[in-house]
Amino acid sequence: MDGIYSISAAEILDRLQTSQKGLSQLEVDKRRRLYGANRIQHQPPVSAWRILIHQFTSFIIYLLLFAVLFSLVLKEYTDAMVILAILIMNGLIGFVQELRANRSLEALRKMTTITATVIRDNKRLRINGEQLVPGDIVCLESGDKVPADGRLINVTQLEVEESILTGESQAVPKIIDPLPVELPLADRRNMVFSASSIVSGRGVAVIIGIGLDTEVGRISQMIAAAEHQQTPLERRLDTFGRKLGLVITGICLLVFCLLVGRSVTDGQQLDMKVFIDFSFVVISLAVAAVPTALPAVVTIALSIGTKRLLGKKILVRRLTSVETLGSCDVICSDKTGTLTRNRMTVEKGWTMERELDLNSPPEHKSFSFTERLLFTIGVTCNNAESGDQSGDHVLTGSPTECALLVSAATAGVAFHGERLSEIPFDAKRKCMSVLVRTEGGTFMHTKGAPDHLLQKCAYFQKNDSSKAALTTKERAVITKAINDFAGRSMRIMAFAYREAEINDTLHETGLVFVGLQAMIDPPRHDVAVSIQRARAACIRPIMITGDHKETAKSIGEQIGITGRVLTGKELDDMDDDVLINAVQTTDIFARVIPHHKLRIVQALQQSDHVVAMTGDGVNDAPALKKADIGIAVGSGTEVAKEAADFVVLNDSFTNIVDAVEEGRGIYDNIQKSIMLLLSGNLMELLLVFLAVILGWNLPLTALLLLWINLITDGAPALAYTVDPYSSDIMRRPPIAKKAPILSGYHLRLLLFLGVTGALIGLFCFENAGGARLDQEELERARTVAFTYVVFFEMLLVFVIRSSYRVRLFTNPWLWSSVALSLLLQGIILYTPVHRLFGVVSLTMDELIQLGVSAVVFGCCCFIPLGWARWKTAFSSG
């Protein structure tokens, strides 16, 4: 019901055809059939079968499946089975990781049912919240969860915490009076909304919306409508796989045509056997070109990253999202609970004599009489409660009153007396008073909004326990202090007292002004440093909050996010093109609603940014799902967690920045593996291709190529997944959104390594007799080429690694993989296993020759690396 907050309570009851006595059971049954249950259907969890099938949907996987099929057609069953085994292993690793993440999220979900106290047929009943219907009269008390959207018709000191919808950390005092039309959600103070919490007081509301017709329900529909984006890694790998497939197909067709053309030229009869032989050559090339171990390497690298992140209290829901966080260049962060502590805290105390800093208070004995009285009144004028649960000190009640108890404890002040009676706070007086009896006598203690309370004061408290008349001069000093705190976006409470009698009528006049307490939801202690780390990594932090503009600006200044501030109302006046320009220069957005958050994320994405969105509330969920990477905090709502890619279990923004570093490191390690696999594969491809062009024998068989791809370069590529990260990883820009998986520099280096290695390998093969037709010489030459390729791959491991500025002896797994590859090569050459591979044992002279060739190759490799480093040093110095 649009605009229902702008009409009177009586008119609402009439419009909904109900009364304060509640609906009859007959009417409830009728409305339940009409409106359905008060329930929001959550998206069902992804089935295990869908998770499993998702592991086999990349283009590189399709290439390898085609290689399996082609091997089976050619009756190369060993090749087919080995490739298929790798694919199954890769798929199972990814399946297990994603299934565990989904089950972990289910374990985090709070399976609680909201109950409600409802009036029906003039009787109070306690029912399941799902049974509510529009028109029901619901009673709300401190500690309740609001079961549906409602319009308040009666309140007593009612304060509601609505941060999950509005983003505001302060509890909202509620009223019943009509409000102006076209107010934002956060300002509809005569309404209560489903899933918000009653922190103090009590109230009665008439239900106006249930299920999908609530604010939470509308957000749930927005989440369902938002399409999930492919991660940058998925896009890059898919593009890479397609281009690689086209190149491999083109080269294979070219070689097949050259072989057929050469046979025709030589007068050879083209029968089925010849075509099968040519097809065998082609599949050898395909096996050499396809990086067989790449899917397993990517999956394992992401799995290892997932475990590391879980150690940092970050749960990964989607495996490929790990790398994406390292690619993001914008983090849109909700303020409450993520950048701030989500806890009101008194930071300043003020009396006529001085200002107190509660973050570093003086010794308890140095507090004056006035200052101790200031904190004492904060304790007496207070309905919050202090308890103990499992050894933890727990405060329950209004966030403001909880903050006053903490400030008194910080000052070492406790109340020793008896509270006799109370005048509750209300929206008109904006004050609360209590009658207390102490050893020093009976007094009325009052707290309230500074402007209202100051009007009730005739005196001010002096440090010598006496009071003096409150003149215009003193009022100006107090007003100046109030304005100063307000300018820092602090919430201010004023405190006063007067002498009274036990049976005194509590009238709030002639009060003695004592002082002020100024509070704020403070930033997390480490967030400013995390903001600086993000900026050093060329990541732009943006604060998006439902709080007021001044509060958002003040918090931003404290944590290092400054500049232009835009409000939700200003966003409404912008079309999409204007907003795209505005988001380039705006780092703080205040008073926003879910629709605004979605528009901000979309505008950033349309400017080619990779956007991470953090949040905890229901209002964050649509933007979490739309963003390239959604990050929900562990204390947030289940709706937010369901929409996110990550869940930060301890709500720490610092851990999010740590996760960015982890994502960048994982991307580097995946890139190293791709470089190793492709450099080796390019060398193997050119070696076979050039031999075919020259009319020589095949230097490597399909079985030898498969062994090299799986073991010789596969093992070190897997060892790269645990490689340490470069020390400058958080001092460089993220990978551009449309950048390929390998940069121009890496492609040039890859081409140089592959071509150089192939030419040296071709020389070794020919020198050993590979161009001649003698079968015994061919086996020896093939063994020489095979062994050279193994040495080439082992050197390549360290050449590629050095281009990422990683120290030589920091990864024992890498050294172990190299040693294992060399050991297995020795077993193949010098045990009966060599018959299976069609190779022979090499002499010491041949091994020395290969060693020299490897050294020559190594020297050639460091030419482009040395040039690149000299060029970088020269340009920066």
Other residues' Cβ atoms within 10 Å of the Cβ of residue 463: 13
At 392 the pLDDT is 45
Quick check: 641 pLDDT over 90?
no
Read off the pLDDT of residues 399-440 as tens digits, 9 standing for 90 and up: 788 899 999 998 889 898 999 988 887 767 889 999 999 988
From CA 559, how far away is CA 527, in angstroms rounded?
A: 6
| pLDDT above 70: residue 107 | no
The burial of 846, by beta-carbon neighbours within 10 Å (0-12 exposed, 13-18 middle, 19 or more buried), is given as middle
C-alpha separations of 61 from 293, 317, 322, 675 in Å: 11, 22, 20, 18
Tell me which DSSP letter residue 541 carries.
Answer: E
* pLDDT exceeds 60 at position 42: no
Query: How far apart (Å, rounded) are the C-alpha atoms in residues 346 and 821?
Result: 64
**β-pair partners for 421:** 435
Residues 25/133, Cβ–Cβ less than 8 Å: no
pLDDT at 586: 94
Mean pLDDT check: name the lowest of 1-10, 322-331, 576-585, 855-864. Answer: 855-864
Residue 638's pLDDT is what?
Answer: 64
Choices 3.30.230.10, 3.40.50.300, 3.40.50.2000, 3.40.1110.10: CATH for 345-520:
3.40.1110.10
pLDDT of the residue at 109: 45
Q: Which candidate in 79, 144, 149, 334 is catalytic?
A: 334
Once rounded to an integer, what is the mean pLDDT over residues 461-469?
86
Residue with the bigger pLDDT between 323 and 497: it is 497
Q: Which of 252, 240, 209 is nearest to 674 (CA)?
A: 240
Q: Where in the chain is the domain with CATH 1.20.1110.10?
A: 231-312+659-876
Q: How is residue 202 written in tokens?
A: 């009590």
**CA-based nearest residue to 35, from 149, 140, 121:** 149
User: Which of 715, 704, 862 has the alpha carbon at shortest distance from 789?
Assistant: 704
Name the region of 122 (left: φ>0; alpha: ψ -120 to 50; beta: rest).
left
Considering the chain, what is the average pLDDT of its residues? 82
Instruction: Please tell me the distance from the alpha carbon of residue 155 to that of residue 341, in angstroms, as a whole number.
Output: 29
231-285 pLDDT per residue, tens: 666 677 777 777 777 887 787 788 778 777 777 777 777 777 677 667 766 766 6
Yes or no: say if 300 and 718 are a contact pair by the CB < 8 Å rule. Answer: yes
Contact 705, 782 (CB under 8 A): no
The per-residue DSSP string of 312-350 comes to TTEEESSTTHHHHHHH-SEEEEEIIIIIB-SS-EEEEEE
**Statement: residue 869 has pLDDT above 80:** no
Sequence-distant (6+) residues with CB within 8 A of 33 are none
d(CA 702, CA 698): 10
88-102, 150-164, 209-223, 367-381 — which one is most confidently predicted on average? 367-381
Rounded Cα distance, 61 and 845, in Å: 42
Q: How far apart are CA 37 and CA 35, in angstroms?
A: 7
**Could you count the other beta carbons within 10 Å of the beta carbon of residue 325?**
31
**375 has pLDDT over 70:** yes
Structure token pair of residue 560? 């290092």
- pTM for the model stands at 0.68
DSSP code of residue 554? H
Those residues with Cβ within 8 angstroms of residue 792's Cβ, 6 or more apart along the chain or in another chain: 680, 683, 757, 760, 761, 854, 857
Mean pLDDT of 115-135: 91
**C-alpha distance from residue 315 to each of 106, 251, 298, 309 (Å):** 12, 44, 19, 7
Handedness of CA 776, 781, 782, 787 (dihedral sign): positive
DSSP character at residue 416? -
Percent of the chain past pLDDT 90, that is, above it, reads 25
How confident is residue 348, by pLDDT bands cut at 50, 70 and 90?
Answer: very high
Q: Which residue has the higher pLDDT, 32 or 617?
A: 32
Is residue 334 part of the annotated active site? The answer reads yes
Residue 377's pLDDT band (cuts 50, 70, 90):
very high
Angle at 748 between CA 743 and CA 749, to 5 degrees: 95
CA dihedral angle for residue 19, residue 22, residue 27, residue 30, rounded to 10 degrees: 110
**Positions of CATH 3.40.50.1000 in the chain:** 317-341+524-655
Give per-residue burial for 434-444: e unless 16+ CB within 10 Å, then b.
Answer: bbbeeeeebbb
pLDDT of residue 428: 74
Fold for domain 231-312+659-876? Calcium-transporting ATPase, transmembrane domain (1.20.1110)
**Domain 317-341+524-655 adopts which CATH fold?**
Rossmann fold (3.40.50)
pLDDT of residue 319: 67
